[in-house]
Amino acid sequence: MYYDEIKKRQVIKKTEEYQVEKINEFIWSLPALVNYAGDNSKQYTVINDNITPITFTINTFNYIKLGLKSEYKDFFELTMQGQVELGEEKGTMFIISPNEEKLRGFCGWINRLTT
């Protein structure tokens, strides 16, 4: 999920295969007790088409800072850092989750609040 400047709202985008691989790696690397208000970020670089390096950071989603009452421990922030593809800009932040249904509901809720 990310904010689309043209549509002026949050939208859902299919996660790239390399992102799925690294989010799974990130989830497995987390300690048993996670401080969701802290910085748990890890940077990753993958090679796209054996040519272009893509650098991004994955972090836990700080739902505590946002004052959300429900837990969003299955949400993560993915921020593009370097060379990007498919129109993504450096610094674009995505909220990603293995729980697609919950993410779609969250996206709809955010759009209702902001429009």
Average pLDDT over residues 101-108: 95
**pLDDT tens per residue, range 53-96:** 888 999 999 998 888 888 899 999 999 886 555 455 667 889 99
- What is the phi/psi pair of residue 64, to 5°? -70, -45
Q: Could you tell me how many residues make up the chain?
A: 115
Query: CB atoms < 10 A from the CB of 65, how many?
Result: 9
Helix, strand, coil in percent for the chain, rounding step 5: 25, 25, 50
- Rounded Cα distance, 114 and 64, in Å: 20
**pLDDT tens per residue, range 22-63:** 999 999 999 999 999 889 999 999 987 777 788 899 999 999
- Rounded Cα distance, 108 and 102, in Å: 10
Q: Record the pTM.
A: 0.85
Q: Are 52 and 75 in contact (CB under 8 A)?
A: no
